[in-house]
Chain A
Amino acid sequence: MDIFAQQLVNGLVLGSIYALVALGYTMVYGILELINFAHGEVTMIGAMVALTVIGVLAGVAPDLPGVLVVLGGILVAIPACMLLAFGIEKIAYRPLRKAPRLAPLITAIGVSIILQNLAMLIWGRQYVSFPEILPTTKFEVFGAHISLLQIAIVVLALTIMACLWLLVERTRLGRAMRATAQSREVAELMGVNVDRVISATFIIGAAIAAIAGVMVSAYYGLAHYYMGFMLGLKAFSAAVLGGIGNIAGAMLGGLLLGVIEALGAGYIGDITGGFLGSHYQDVFAFFVLIGVLVFRPSGLLGERVANRA
């Protein structure tokens, strides 16, 4: 029982991170129907920038409490990622809005490669380690070990998702975003500045990605130029699982994928009598994704994309 509880905790923490990154994919897809492959890399840049700032701060002011140092890192990483996402959209995606659908997908892959290699040139190929400045307080609930950091990650993720939901459902900008997602042309006719709405979507997604990036690197204690790619892929799968374009779906998809992975790695060997082991963890996740797509192509909660023919 305690093992199962621990696996649930592992999965929920991992899932919250997936969910946060998935939000960025889902928002962009909802409006532009574009898989922003570079989103995972934005998360990575967020982590790298924050780590650099944290390293400097921890060196200059060693007496500062760790939480404040990390907060400082986040505060620099957010605008950096926002600027980056704004630039990516403007240079690589906007000119292609009327091009065939494959075109922006390919630039997205290109931008992703560029960001990875730039990060490698700037921060090197080695894994960068996160200084040990956060408290490592632990609790035991139902025999599962839970750290303060894990609780903070889950709570922060839920808060951000609630804020985003409010933004989309209750504000003018949110209404403009929903209108643009329904039909770009009609929204434009109604006086919505579509370009600005699209930019805003990218920027908000990037800010969330920056926070997610810092969470990942603080949780695992490292950052690396390659970390964004797999994270992005998993997060995108999570978004599809929940129903892309749907914010609640991204949340559900992220948490589900995290739990499925943890339970898969933990129990797949027992279920298959030792034939398949934890080396098939990713296969398990992909099979779930394919299964959902085949039997429920619009995801668990359904997509919110206007179905233009």
Chain B
Amino acid sequence: MLLAILPFLMGFGLGNAWVRVLDFVLLYVLLAIGLNIVVGYAGLLDLGYIAFYALGAYLYAWLASPHFGLHLPFWLVLPLGAMLAGLFGVLLGAPTLRLRGDYLAIVTLGFGEIIRIFMNNLNAPFNLTNGPQGMNLIDPVSIAGFSFGKPLHVFGMTFPPTYFYYYLFLAFTLLAIFVALRLQDSRIGRAWAAIREDEIAAAAMGINTRNMKLLAFAMGATFGGLAGGLFAAFQGFISPESFNLWESILVLCMIVLGGMGNIPGVILGAVLLTVIPEALRYLGDLQRATLGHVAVDPADLRMLLFGVALVAMMLFRPAGLLPSHQRKREFAAEDGVAEQEQANLYDTRA
């Protein structure tokens, strides 16, 4: 209920710009839920997650923009983008199955950079991505002839496209939350948890660890690709600079801060890390209004605060703001056995 009227509250209370912020919050929630499957559920640290977001966005741009003259409908393009991202998830996962935590982190980081570099450079010899100039004039979502690209005028009020996108994104986010929650308690979810805790024991219990890890990569990537497609349609313009390493780290920060493996925690993390920088902007406005100039640059402060928050969270509340029940138990445990378990939590080495 509240979620249904939220954009109106924000729109009239704070202006439509905040509805746009809300849209971005939902996109990041989608991303965070996807990454949480890989990192939180299966315990595979992925530092190149944004590559899947990029793939989804670029596929949308290829199939629905003047670049190739194709204008396919979004309900066809979005699933294709999600599938492409999922396929790349498997492609990334397959060669890295034998790698353990830290090496996996560095390989995924490399993968993320490789995708970005290719997107940035594939304007020659064949112009696939338009290089650093980015792709423009991407088709907005349109449902049954109603285009999201134009503002709607009713009852003397004007609703910019951000309102329609809010409900579209909300629908996908709710779907993602539903899928993620169902997965968590399914056979698959329990298999992931087993691999995360102890891969050898999981294999001994008859879990096909190879397929399960690949599935985690594919599922996570699919969500990323979906979010990417939505982003492309929403923004209408994409360029490789939107998909850099810091975006990957930002999404990781969201799930760490909120509580890895726990969906409400992940959502909270995504909301906080998207809204706080926007709120910090008022700090700059406030300084300009009172001092006439900006004494402390909030943009400088923002990243510093992120860094401090990351360190402080790990030191004082390592399981996140809203930890999962299991994680909470593990961190609260005092006896040696539990401690031993903790030490091996992400140790998936053979």
Contact = CB atoms under 8 A, between A and B. Distances in A.
Q: Taking the complex as a whole, does A directly touch B, i.e. does some CB pair lie under 8 Å apart?
A: yes
Interface string A103-114: 111110111111
Nearest to B346: A101
Contacts of B39: 102
Contact of B304 (A107, A113, A237): A113
Nearest to B327: A100
Contacts of A92: 311, 314-315
Contact of B106 (A91, A111, A118, A240): A240
A23 B324 CA distance: 38
B314 A283 contact: no
Interface of B: 39, 45, 95-96, 98-99, 101-103, 105-107, 109-111, 113-114, 117-118, 120-121, 125, 200, 249, 252-253, 256, 260, 300, 303-304, 306-311, 313-315, 318, 339, 342-343, 345-347, 349
Contact of A114 (B102, B117, B200, B308): B308
Contacts of B315: 92, 95-96, 107
Nearest to A113: B307
B130 to A, nearest CB: 15
A99 B318 contact: yes
Given A279-B121, A286-B113, A290-B107, A103 B314 contact: yes
Interface of A: 29, 33, 35, 91-92, 95-96, 98-107, 109-114, 116-118, 120-121, 233, 236-237, 240, 274-275, 277, 279-280, 282-283, 286-287, 289-290, 293-294, 297, 307, 309
B226 to A, nearest CB: 25
24 contacts: A91-B311, A92-B314, A92-B315, A96-B314, A98-B343, A99-B318, A100-B342, A101-B101, A102-B45, A107-B314, A110-B306, A113-B304, A114-B308, A117-B307, A120-B300, A279-B117, A286-B110, A286-B114, A287-B114, A289-B106, A294-B95, A294-B96, A294-B98, A297-B103
A274 B126 CA distance: 12
**Chain A contact residues, majority secondary structure:** helix
Contact of A105 (B102, B110, B300, B313): B102
B102 A33 contact: yes
Contacts of A96: 314-315, 318
A114 B114 contact: no
Contact of A117 (B300, B309, B314): B300
Contacts of B121: 277, 279-280
Contacts of B45: 102, 105
Contact of A98 (B253, B309, B342, B347): B342
Contacts of A113: 303-304, 306-307, 310
A286 B113 CA distance: 9
A275 B125 contact: yes
B122 to A, nearest CB: 10
A109 B249 contact: yes
Contacts of B249: 109
A208 to B, nearest CB: 21
Contacts of A101: 101-102, 343, 345-347
A94 to B, nearest CB: 10
A290 B107 CA distance: 6
Contacts of A289: 106-107, 110
